[in-house]
Amino acid sequence: MEWIRDHAWEAWVGLAFVLAALELASLDFVLLMLAAGALTGAVAAAVGAGWVLQVVLAGVAAVAALGLVRPALLHRLHRSPATALGIERYVGMRAVVTARIGGHEPGAVRLDGETWTATADGGLAIEPGRSVDVIEIRGATAVVRPTAEGE
């Protein structure tokens, strides 16, 4: 017990490292917040606070981190937009007509470096070289509409 009293700040730092390492397995930010509390206990020990005060300060810091910091971290982590996967990622992309799309006859577009069969939304005729926006993917066919001028 005497070693812990004489080396309390080192014990707190060791506990913080163990908790931070265990956080790598859980990845839910709970153990990381407890590690922050342990670091607060280390600071209190380093400035000469008593054992009871060290534990109280570590507990208060851990609870505050769990209540204030963790929700903000989780919110930032989970607020990113969902990434479209598969063919849905092409919707909204810009393409260039490589073979005339006529009325109700399919043509071709260059989309993301690949040649796709394409039809025009509304049965429009679109000449080669024109920029188009992909509005839908139906099977292996891109449904496109001409890009507004000036875009």
Domain positions in the chain are 2-78, 86-146
Q: Which of 106-110, 118-122, 138-142, 147-151 has the highest mean pLDDT?
A: 106-110
- Full DSSP string of 22-73: HHHHH-SSHHHHHHHHHHHHHHHHHTT--HHHHHHHHHHHHHHIIIIIHHHH
Query: What's the pLDDT at 15?
Result: 95
Average pLDDT value for residue range 20-41? 94
Express each pLDDT in 56-98 by its tens digit: 999 999 999 999 999 998 888 877 666 667 788 899 999 999 9
The CATH number of domain 86-146 is 1.20.58.220: no
Structure tokens that stand for 136 in this block:
């839908």
* Prediction pTM value: 0.53
**Position 149 pLDDT exceeds 80:** no
Eight-class DSSP state of 82: P
Cα separation, 39 vs 61, in Å, equals: 9
Residue type, 132: V
Q: Which is more confident, 112 or 62? A: 62
Structure tokens that stand for 11 in this block:
């014990």
Cα separation, 55 vs 119, in Å, equals: 69
Query: What's the pLDDT at 62?
Result: 96
